[in-house]
Every structure is written in structure tokens, then in C-alpha cells.
């Protein structure tokens, strides 16, 4: 009897520890992120306007409208789940130099925007939809390309399935299934794969309960097939510990339109730009020029 009681207490202790760990994991996943060091377009000699707008679900967001003279198109940039839009400002420059307007903004719970809960795309898609609404209402722009990084790339893919205003996507280091990415995060920290996999699954359950949603239902791999024939360029580091090459290839196979996967050897998550910024900028600018600008010109010519 004594040993049975000890066993029960030990089991309850383990269960309690597991529940505490899950709540800590969910809190860490959902917490508001500290911003990157301030890096505005002024630092690159480029003028901009700070704008305030609302997401589709009425969260107050802050962005930068960076107009180009005689613009050939407009690109929306979506940052990752750490930092703020400041961390990507330098990647705006080649797009602006090529003649694109650029619209950058902070997702909810990041940077200058309101909110205290990160949902890894589930609600962030409402932020990007709000950005599209702002551009349509205030800048009279209904066709855009979207360049997204990590979580921002996932948001770009999800939102492209919901809005035809997005005409071309570049997805740099998008995850396909959030559970796999969280599993990779745990494995990278020495957690055995079976435990990391179960922990990731249950953290998503806890986070979904807290956010009153289903985080797993917004996995980009579920949405890519609904983007239709709009073009997608996937950028992936071959050594990415959070997203496998197989997962990216699977997402690409679901796309109906022009699709390309650029796999960069020897680099990890979001490592392609640092490894070769010249090639990176060339590919991104060429993709948007081809599928956002030249395709539109061809369509207009066929109608005239």
C-alpha cells in the first residue's frame, strides 16, 4: 500500500510537471516579442511615411509606406515571429531601387503595433488582410506581391489563399506544419524526438485553448492548394533545423501555378540572404518583376 501511494504521488507529480511545462511552453510561444533595433528607411536615404491602420479584427497596427517614383508595382513585406519590421529594412532597398513601392508593418504583439499574443499565423493573417485593405482604400492599390520571412512567409501563403489581391508570393523559410517546427525547436535543444513531438502537439492544444482558435488549422500546407495559379517562390536553407526540405517540396507540389524552390546549401533558417545577398536580391526582384509587372502588362495588352 505504501509503495502504491508513493507511485500515485510520483505519477501526479510527473503529470503536474508536464502540465506546468506545457503552460510555460504555450506562454513562451504566445508572448509579445521584443523589437529589433530601430532601422528606418531614412538610414538608407529613402523617404517613407509612418501609417496607422487596423487589422481585419480591429487590432491597431503600425507600418511604413515607402513609395517609389514612377512605381512599377507594390510589395508588402511580412517579418518573422521575432523582432519587428526593422530587422528586414535592408531587404526593402533592392525592391525600392527596382521601382517597387514597399509596404512594411509590424504584426500584432510586435514592434510598434498593439497586441500581446502571437498566434503564428492564425490571427496574423488578419493583419495582412488589414494591410491589403489599407493599400486599397488609401493608396488605390489592388494588386501586390508579398515577401514573407519565416512566420511572415506562412502568413503570406495563408492570406494568398484568402485574397486575390495577392498576385505573387516569395516565401522565405515558411514552415509547412507548425507542430513540426516546434518539434525541431525542441530537438535543437536536446529533447529526444518522441518527447519533443508530443510536447509540441500539446503546446499547440494549450495555445489554441488560450487563443480560442485552432493553430493547427492554419498550417500553410493546408492552404497552399487554395492559392490557385498565382506564382510562389519558396526559399529554403538546406540545414534549416525547423523546416525540412521535404516539407517545402510538399508545399510546392500543392501549388497549381508557377512555382520554384530555391534551396541554398549549407545554411539554416532564413540563412539564404546572408549567404549570398546579391543572388538573393536578384531572384526576388526578378520574380516580382516577372509575375507582378510583366504578367499584368501582358494581360492589359491582350485586353486592348
Q: What is the pLDDT along the chain (304 residues), one digit of tens a residue?
A: 555 555 443 443 444 555 777 778 788 898 999 999 999 999 999 999 999 999 999 999 999 999 999 999 999 999 999 999 999 999 999 999 999 999 999 999 999 999 999 999 999 999 999 999 999 999 999 999 999 999 999 999 999 999 999 999 999 999 999 999 999 998 988 989 999 999 899 999 999 998 888 887 889 999 999 999 999 999 999 999 999 999 999 999 999 999 999 999 999 999 999 999 999 999 999 999 999 987 766 565 544 4
Q: Is residue 94 part of a domain?
A: yes
Q: Is residue 201 part of a domain?
A: no
Q: Is residue 72 part of a domain?
A: yes
Beta bridge partners of 170: 147, 233
What's the rounded Cα separation, in Å, for the pair 99 and 247? 33
CA 105 centroid distance within chain: 12
Q: Is residue 10 part of a domain?
A: no
Into how many domains does the chain fold?
Answer: 1
What's the rounded Cα separation, in Å, for the pair 26 and 120? 12
Place of cell 545577398: 277
Closest CA to 252 of 187, 199, 176: 176
pTM of the predicted model as reported, rounded to 2 decimal places: 0.92
Q: Is residue 82 part of a domain?
A: yes
- Residue 296: predicted pLDDT: 65
What's the rounded Cα separation, in Å, for the pair 157 and 201? 22
- Residue 20: predicted pLDDT: 73
- Residue 217: predicted pLDDT: 81
The CATH number given to whatever domain includes residue 259 is 3.40.50.1820
CA 238 centroid distance within chain: 18
- Residue 303: predicted pLDDT: 43
CB-based burial label for 91 (10 Å; 0-12, 13-18, 19+): buried
Q: Is residue 25 part of a domain?
A: no
3-class state of residue 178 by DSSP: helix
- Residue 17: predicted pLDDT: 59
What residue numbers bound the domain in which 136 lies? 41-177+219-303
3-class state of residue 14 by DSSP: helix
Q: Is residue 209 part of a domain?
A: no
Mode of pairing for the β-strands spanning 166-172 and 100-105: unpaired
3-class state of residue 171 by DSSP: strand
How many CB atoms are located within 10 Å of the residue 118 CB? Answer: 24
- Residue 71: predicted pLDDT: 97
List helix spans (H) across the chain.
2-30, 93-97, 124-138, 151-160, 178-188, 193-211, 220-223, 245-254, 272-275, 277-288, 295-303
How many CB atoms are located within 10 Å of the residue 35 CB? Answer: 17
What's the rounded Cα separation, in Å, for the pair 110 and 62? 10
Q: Is residue 136 part of a domain?
A: yes
Amino acid at each position: 500500500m505504501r509503495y502504491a501511494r508513493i507511485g500515485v504521488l510520483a505519477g501526479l507529480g510527473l503529470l503536474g510537471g508536464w502540465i506546468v511545462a506545457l503552460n510555460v511552453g504555450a506562454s513562451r510561444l504566445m508572448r509579445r516579442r521584443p523589437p529589433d533595433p530601430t532601422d528606418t528607411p531614412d538610414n538608407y536615404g529613402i523617404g517613407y511615411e509612418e501609417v496607422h491602420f487596423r487589422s481585419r479584427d480591429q487590432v491597431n497596427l503600425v507600418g511604413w509606406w515607402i513609395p517609389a517614383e514612377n512605381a512599377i508595382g507594390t510589395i508588402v513585406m511580412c517579418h518573422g515571429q521575432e523582432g519587428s519590421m526593422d530587422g528586414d529594412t535592408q531587404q526593402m532597398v533592392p525592391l525600392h531601387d527596382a521601382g517597387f513601392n514597399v509596404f512594411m508593418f509590424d504584426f500584432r504583439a510586435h514592434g510598434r503595433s498593439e497586441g500581446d499574443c502571437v498566434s503564428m499565423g492564425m490571427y496574423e493573417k488578419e493583419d495582412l488582410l488589414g494591410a491589403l485593405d489599407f493599400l486599397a482604400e488609401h493608396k488605390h492599390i489592388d494588386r501586390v506581391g508579398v515577401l514573407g520571412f519565416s512566420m511572415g512567409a506562412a502568413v503570406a501563403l495563408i492570406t494568398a489563399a484568402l485574397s486575390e489581391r495577392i498576385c505573387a508570393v516569395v516565401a522565405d523559410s515558411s514552415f509547412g506544419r507548425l507542430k513540426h517546427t516546434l518539434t525541431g525547436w525542441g530537438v535543437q535543444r536536446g529533447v529526444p524526438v518522441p518527447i519533443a513531438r508530443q510536447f509540441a502537439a500539446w503546446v499547440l492544444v494549450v495555445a489554441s485553448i488560450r487563443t480560442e482558435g485552432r493553430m493547427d488549422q492554419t498550417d500553410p500546407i493546408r492552404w497552399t492548394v487554395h492559392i490557385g495559379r498565382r506564382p510562389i517562390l519558396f526559399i529554403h536553407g538546406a540545414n534549416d533545423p525547423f523546416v525540412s526540405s521535404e516539407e517545402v517540396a510538399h508545399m510546392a507540389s500543392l501549388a497549381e501555378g508557377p512555382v520554384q524552390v530555391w534551396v541554398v546549401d549549407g545554411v539554416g533558417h532564413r540563412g539564404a540572404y546572408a549567404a549570398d545577398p546579391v543572388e538573393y536580391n536578384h531572384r526576388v526582384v526578378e520574380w516580382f518583376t516577372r509575375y507582378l509587372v510583366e504578367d499584368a502588362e501582358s494581360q492589359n495588352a491582350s485586353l486592348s
